[in-house]
Amino acid sequence: MAEEIKRSSIIVNCFTEQSVKEFKADFDELNHSNIPIIPIFIDSYGGEVYSLFAILDIISTATKPIATIALGKAMSCGSILLACGSPGFRFVGPYSTVMIHDAASMSFGKIEELKADVFEADRLNTKMYNILDEKCNKKKDYFYRLMGERKHANIYLSPHEAVQHGLAEHIGIPVIDMTFNLNVITKDSHADPKTQTKKQTKSQNKK
């Protein structure tokens, strides 16, 4: 008899050491379950860059595709995580906002310590934009140049702009069930009950 699965998805609200511990526990459960895809919902303003990298290290151990879904907001670290879903499995909710920006550092201490912190912040910044370039299938320094064009202010992206820049492929929320139905709920499908009923029937036929 298969082991009962306590959850079918993961939601990320923040990026802290505690959230990494919780994420790993949830991820390991799903990674060793019989579900074919691991859905990660992102509703976050961001958080600690090191915690983001810890989560990316964790999902690099996945034995199945990773679906990332922006739900409301995927900002700062959240936008990087969104982009790191498996190709073809990255979604942005129709009412969601994606935001990218430079790494921030709040330091104090001796001059040499401040210099070291600035160097580290620059290293993290470069690493984040290199990840975006790779995961979004863009040329090297695409996102760094984009930030430069905006004078390194926060860049807020609509769902269509997020897809345009390669952070996601789909606008809409995927229907999640134990077989992971990839039909997408969009604003139009919400407005048309017939469309939604048809999609639900299709999902039921798959079971």
pLDDT tens figures, 118-177? 888 899 999 999 999 999 999 999 999 999 998 899 999 999 999 999 999 999 999 866
Closest to 45 in 3D by CA, of 26, 27, 10, 71: 71
pLDDT tens figures, 64-120? 999 999 999 999 999 999 999 999 999 999 999 999 998 876 667 787 887 888 888
pLDDT tens figures, 190-201? 434 333 333 333
Q: What string of DSSP letters covers 125-189?
A: HHHHHHHHHHHTT--TTHHHHHHHHTTT--EEE-HHHHHHTTS-SEESEEPP-TT----EE-HHH
Dihedral of CA atoms 107, 129, 168, 182 in degrees, nearest 10, equals -80
Buried residues in 132-142 as b, exposed as e (16+ CB within 10 A): bbebbebeeeb
15 pLDDT more than 60: yes
Domain positions in the chain: 10-174
Q: How many CB atoms lie within 10 A of CB 52?
A: 26
pTM of the model: 0.81
Q: How many CB atoms lie within 10 A of CB 80?
A: 25
Q: How far is it, in rounded angstroms, from Cα 133 to Cα 127?
A: 10
Judged by DSSP in three states, 5 sits in: coil
CATH number given to 10-174: 3.90.226.10
